[in-house]
Chains A and B, each alone.
Chain A
Amino acid sequence: QQKVQQSPESLSVPEGGMASFNCTSSDRNFQYFWWYRQHSGEGPKALMSIFSDGDKKEGRFTAHLNKASLHVSLHIRDSQPSDSALYFCAARKTGNTRKLIFGLGTTLQVQP
């Protein structure tokens, strides 16, 4: 069973719309979460991190973490065609580990 599960598998929104991504972990030891974005032919690039319960906003991006339910979400407002990419949730456990566990990703298509 995958330890970090993402939904939906794919998403299509109109330009200017809101894109929302969900991530659930199955291990309470995961305490640190990142959202990564990967454009075709590139490596993943971190969008934002979230380590505490609640919301974190950076420009058009807002992440939300609920540790009790092991749920993380990412919302992109005013979506642009350049936001079209693969979005990953990544989690790391507490302790002296550097290992990031990634979900399978959500493909976002922003329609002009």
Chain B
Amino acid sequence: DPKIIQKPKYLVAVTGSEKILICEQYLGHNAMYWYRQSAKKPLEFMFSYSYQKLMDNQTASSRFQPQSSKKNHLDLQITALKPDDSATYFCASSHENTEVFFGKGTRLTVV
């Protein structure tokens, strides 16, 4: 029974379009994150939120915007999609600075 739900599991998008990746966690954690995993690259930190406030932002591009409507939600909006954005995006959560739990990911392909 997954405690971090990511939707959709797979996503194909056209270059220049906009997509929203959904994430909900039911672990009662106060911190949520987005990471990106691309081929031949390490798992890359993107954002961290704590109590719905942005803590760390490592994404240079403003095309990536996290959105937190509830404390257990952290969606990721990506605008003006490029082929280089193709990757698996993982949502994660933790209680304070303890172990980080990851979802199963959304695999995004931009054509």
With A97-B56, A98-B94, A99-B58: A43-B104 Cβ-Cβ less than 8 Å:
yes
Closest to B56 in A: A99
- Interface residues on chain B, number (Cβ under 8 Å): 25
B42 pairs with A46, CB closer than 8 A? no
Instruction: Produce 1/0 per residue, A17-45, CB < 8 A to B.
Output: 00000000000000000100000011111
The residue on A at minimum CB distance from B32 is A98
A101: nearest chain-B partner, CB-CB: B45
Instruction: Verify B42–A104 contact, CB threshold 8 A.
Output: yes
Let me know if B99 and A49 touch, CB within 8 A.
yes
For the complex, give the distance between the alpha carbons of A97 and B105 in Å.
Answer: 23
| B44 contacts across to A, CB distance below 8 A | 102
Q: What residues of chain B lie closer than 8 Å to A105, measured between beta carbons? A: 42
Distance A4 CA – B4 CA, assembled complex (angstroms): 27
Selected from B56, B103, B104, the residue in CB contact (under 8 A) with A98 is B56
- Complex Cα distance, B31 from A100, in Å, reads 13
Give the Cβ gap from B94 to chain A, nearest Cβ, in Å: 7
Is the CB–CB distance between A98 and B33 below 8 Å?
yes
Q: A98 vs B58: C-alpha distance in the bound complex, in angstroms?
A: 11
Count of residues in A whose CB is under 8 Å from the partner chain: 23
Contact, CB under 8 Å: B99 / A88: no
Give A52 Cβ to nearest chain B Cβ, in Å: 16
Q: Is the CB–CB distance between B103 and A43 below 8 Å?
A: yes
Q: A98-B94, A99-B48 are in contact. Are A4 and B42 (CB under 8 A)?
A: yes
Which residue of B42, B55, B90 contacts A43 across the interface (Cβ within 8 Å)? B90
A-B pairs with beta carbons under 8 Å apart, 21 shown = A4-B42, A34-B99, A41-B104, A42-B104, A43-B4, A43-B90, A44-B43, A44-B90, A45-B101, A46-B99, A46-B101, A96-B55, A98-B48, A98-B55, A99-B45, A99-B56, A100-B45, A101-B45, A102-B43, A103-B42, A104-B40
